[in-house]
Amino acid sequence: MIAQDLYKETLLEHYRHPKNRCDGPIQDADAVERGANPRCGDEIEIGIFLQDENIRHVQFRGRGCAICIASASMLTEAVAGLSVAGTRILCEQMHDWFGDIEPAAGALLPNGLQALAAVRQHPARQKCVLLSWEALADAIDKAGRE
Amino acid sequence: MSLAVQPIDDSETINPEAVRRDFPIFSGSTQPRRFHYLDHAATTPKPSAVINSISDCYAQCYAPIHRGLYPMAEQATSNYEHARRTLQHFIGAASPDELVFTRSATEAINMVASGWLKPRLERGDVVWVSRMEHHSNYLPWQLVCQEQQAQLRFIELTEDGQLDLDGTPELFAERTKFIAITHVSNVLGTENPVATLCTTAREYGIPVLVDAAQSVSHIELDVAEMCCDFLAFSAHKMFGPTGIGLLYGRQERLAEMAPLQVGGGMVDSVGDGMEESRWAAIPARFEAGSPDMPGAVGFAAAADYLSSLGHERVHRHIVSLTRLAAQRLMRIDGIRLLPHAGLPASGIVSFTHHNMHPHDMAQIAGEAGVAIRAGHHCAQPLLRRLGLTATARASFSVYNDESDIDALIDAIISAQRVFCE
């Protein structure tokens, strides 16, 4: 298989069978935020469900390339059960890792996100990874305001 | 350099392999295998003739132009103006003074929007563009309409991606002050009937700007026959250097146009303080700053190179190849060609796949050595109308052959295996 470096099997599995994806509008979430990349038309909506200070559950809906969908799917698994504060830190680490601000940030990330590492070699695709994470950070901010 | 280059080979068809050898990028040691470049609508590789002409400028005859009085400066000036005359003949302009060197087609269009149209555009006036414009032939008009409180309206498209001129009866109405139209769409590949449109517009006294960025590399341009008032294109899409473009304007139109930039080389006498300055004659008036002589020489070398290949033969080769690509793409399950792409009339075929994002297709293709483009192609108003946000696009040139199509098809099938199983 070509492109195996970028499209790792884990990533493809998340793309083909995304976790926590809604076909319709996300219902009853504590906050829903949307991220869009007008360059490629990708759009991801992230809905967070809170329990006290923790993220109980995350759902997403939207359309995008394989990397965008896989990243959103992995996100929903990676943050379920984390504290809100811990999730915020994770969003920042993802931003630093993919923005090449902190190349070592990858080492701190959970195993479930390591399949995204290869995307760092393709600067044009980094936004595909970060779209859902930026929407998640916005959703946390929104929930905090409400 | 000659002013009227004849095709070097009078056979009916192009030999792509022979032409390919003119382009060092395809034989460079950085290419481990055959590189299938199918992104010519974005930019084109350069033949040795162009690269050498630029290198010769720097190595053999480099001096300030229109300024120095020593022999090399005079020669440099003469090379620059010779390039202008070569391009004049290339597009059939009446005089070299109708050609302004710019940084790009984009800059040329902005010059007309701000320097010619803006002072003439009043509240309630109408400017028309087509639905298929590249952002560079859309945003300058949008901006000037917003500034002047005029209206920007679309010539919409028919189902098969042609201009819906029948559905635009107000096109030549009294409030219409300008029409800007692309010759060939950079997404659909549609060739627009610009000569018919410009001829009618002239009867109504409405100036037209034709964006020839996508046509110049394979359609012979004749501004007199086309009857346009302005025409813009860039060198880099026709085998010429990056960073230089051309604005053609009918002499009387250029005489009416205000310079967008002022500075060295575009002025005859400079007033003290608030005294008025007097601009230089056309076209120097529009070429403020030190002109890009090597760029102009490379631009002219590209025009000569294209002429030596023969426009007709180039066009025939590209169209037949693009049609073949379209036919073979159509046979792949899940592929949808964009309107008009079923029978492309130029070198562009755009497509989508019901289960693969264009970026994923382009990424897999890229890793297989096939360079195609994915995205909105700087044509968001068009994609919005088509209900799409991105497409994949293959665009062909003179040295492409069936093996490039084979590689494209193989790449899309590989991508299907990755994403659709």
- Residue A2 — very low, low, confident or very high, per pLDDT cuts 50/70/90? very low
Q: Which of A16, A38, A65 sits opposite B359 (nearest CB)?
A: A65
Strand partners, B128: B153, B179
Say yes or no: B130 and B269 in one domain. Answer: yes
| Mutate which: B33, B359, B419, vs A, most A CBs within 10 A | B359
Does one domain contain both B118 and B257? yes
Query: Which residue, B273, B308, B343, sits at the end of a domain?
Result: B308
The residues in B 376-415 lying below 8 A from A, measured between CB atoms, are 376, 380, 383, 388-390, 414
Domain range spanning residue B341? 16-39+311-419
- Cβ contact B376–A66 (<8 Å): no
Alpha carbons B321 and B10: distance in angstroms, whole number: 20
Q: Say if residue B79 is in the same domain as residue B215.
A: yes
Q: How many domains does chain A have?
A: 1
Is pLDDT at A134 greater than 60 in this prediction?
yes
Of A1, A12, A40, the CB nearest to B375: A40
Can you give the residue range of the structural domain that contains A61? 9-145
B360 closest CB neighbour out of A2, A38, A65: A65
- Is A1 a member of any domain? no
Same domain, B288 and B235: yes
Q: B327 and B298, same structural domain? A: no
Domain-embedded: residue B1:
no
**Alpha carbon separation from A84 to A48, A144, B402 (Å, rounded):** 10, 10, 56
Concatenate the DSSP letters of all residues of B195-262 into one string: HHHHHHHHHTT--EEEE-TTTTTTS---HHHHT-SEEEEESGGGTS-TT-EEEEE-HHHHHHPPPSS-
What is the complex's ipTM, to 2 decimals? 0.83
Residue after which a domain boundary falls, among B263, B287, B308: B308
User: What would the mean pLDDT of A63-67 be, rounded to a whole number?
Assistant: 92
CATH code, domain carrying B123: 3.40.640.10
Q: Does B368 touch chain A (CB under 8 A)?
A: yes
The answer to whether position B21 is within a domain reads yes
Rounded Cα distance between B23 and B20, Å, is 6
User: Is residue B127 in some structural domain?
Assistant: yes
- Residue B97 has what pLDDT? 98
CATH code assigned at B358: 3.90.1150.10
Measured between alpha carbons, how far is B127 from B121 in angstroms, rounded to an integer?
A: 9
B400 lies in the same domain as B269: no
- Span of A5-14, A62-71, B114-123 with lowest mean pLDDT: A5-14
Same domain, B254 and B384: no
CATH classification of the domain holding A85: 3.90.1010.10
**CA B211, CA B52: separation in Å to the nearest integer?**
28
- Residue A1: the pLDDT is 41
**Overall domain count for chain B:** 2
Whole-number pLDDT of residue A125: 87
DSSP string, B368-412: TTEE-EEE-TT-HHHHHHHT-S-EEEEE--TT--HHHHHHHHHHH
Q: Quote the CA–CA distance of B379 and B389 in Å, as a whole number.
A: 10
Task: Judge whether B390 lies within some domain.
Answer: yes
A59 part of a folded domain? yes
Q: What is the pLDDT of residue B306?
A: 97
Answer yes or no: is A134 within a domain.
Answer: yes
A88 occurs within a structural domain: yes
Residue type, B109: I
B362 part of a folded domain: yes
- The answer to whether the Cβ–Cβ distance between B374 and A40 falls below 8 Å is yes
Helix (H) or strand (E) holding A63: strand A54-63
B417 touches chain A (CB under 8 A): yes
Using a CB-CB cut-off of 8 Å, the residues of chain B touching A8 are none
Residue A50 lies in a domain: yes
Query: Where is the domain boundary, B308, B323, B350?
Result: B308
Both B339 and B261 in a single domain?
A: no
Q: Which amino acid type is present at position B307? A: S
Quick check: A15 and B419 CB within 8 A?
A: yes
Same domain, B324 and B293: no
**Inside any domain, residue B4:** no
Per-residue pLDDT of chain B (421 residues; tens, 9 = 90+): 446 566 666 677 899 999 999 999 998 655 556 899 999 999 999 999 999 999 999 999 999 998 888 999 999 999 999 999 999 999 999 999 999 999 999 999 999 999 999 999 999 999 999 999 999 999 999 999 999 999 999 999 998 899 999 999 999 999 999 999 999 999 999 999 999 999 999 999 999 999 999 999 999 999 999 999 999 999 999 999 999 999 999 999 999 999 999 999 999 999 999 999 999 999 999 999 999 999 999 999 999 999 999 999 999 999 999 999 999 999 999 999 997 545 778 999 999 999 999 999 999 999 999 999 999 899 999 999 999 989 999 999 999 999 999 999 999 999 999 888 7
Residue at A37 is within a domain: yes
Do residue B303 and residue B318 come from a single domain? no
Same structural domain, B160 and B30: no
Cβ distance B357 to A125 less than 8 Å, yes or no, reads: no
In a domain, A112, yes or no: yes
> Out of A3, A64, A68, whose CB is closest to B364?
A3
Residue A3 in any domain: the answer is no
The angle subtended at Cα A125 by Cα A44 and Cα B348, nearest 5°, is: 100
Chain A positions in Cβ-Cβ contact with residue B356 (cut-off 8 Å): 66
- Find chain A residues with C-beta within 8 A of B375's C-beta: 39-40
Q: What is the pLDDT of residue B1?
A: 45
* Active-site residue identified among B198, B227, B228, B378: B378
- Are residues B162 and B79 part of one domain? yes
Mean pLDDT, all residues of chain A: 89
Smallest Cα distance from A5 to chain B, Å:
10
Which of A19-23, A100-104, B208-212 bottoms out in mean pLDDT, i.e. has the lowest? A100-104
